[in-house]
Amino acid sequence: MYTFLQENDMRVGENGEVTRNGKTLAYTHTHDCGTWTIWPQGDFSTAPTGFDPAMVEIAWVNVNVCGDCGSGCAPVSRQTVFGKEFDNLCAGAVLAFSNPDAEALECVKKLLEGAKC
């Protein structure tokens, strides 16, 4: 993943922000147990150009339902993700990919490539 980020002029900051041209595209975190999560940022109401139906399905599997993490925000009651409505999503990150497999990682890469900067 880090090679992909470097090849696409993206950087990971000290707090896990993935940025390009000064804009935050995602946040990433490696957990103590060796697992990791990436939370792409943006408007996910419609799929980006070149996003095939299989990618949409992968994104839907990775919607970030509010887990009451204690950050003090309230969940979004209803949100559209790539044309499908979901309830009770995290207000801070609509999508969360934890330990993404190869297909999910390709989905994340497409999301980051399509981010507006």
Alpha helices in 8-65 (DSSP H): 53-61
- Every domain of the chain and the residues it spans: 2-113
Q: How many residues does the chain have?
A: 117
Query: What pLDDT sits at residue 50?
Result: 79
Instruction: Work out the percent of the chain whose per-residue pLDDT is above 90.
Output: 71
Tens of pLDDT, residue by residue over 51-63, are 899 999 999 999 9
Query: What pLDDT sits at residue 21?
Result: 93
Nearest of 49, 47, 51, 44 to residue 25 by alpha carbon: 44
Residue 117 pLDDT > 60, yes or no?
no
Average pLDDT, the chain: 91
Taking the C-alpha atoms of 24, 109, 114 and 18 in order, what is their torsion angle to the nearest 10 degrees? 10
Q: What is the number of other CB atoms lying within 10 angstroms of the CB of residue 80?
A: 13
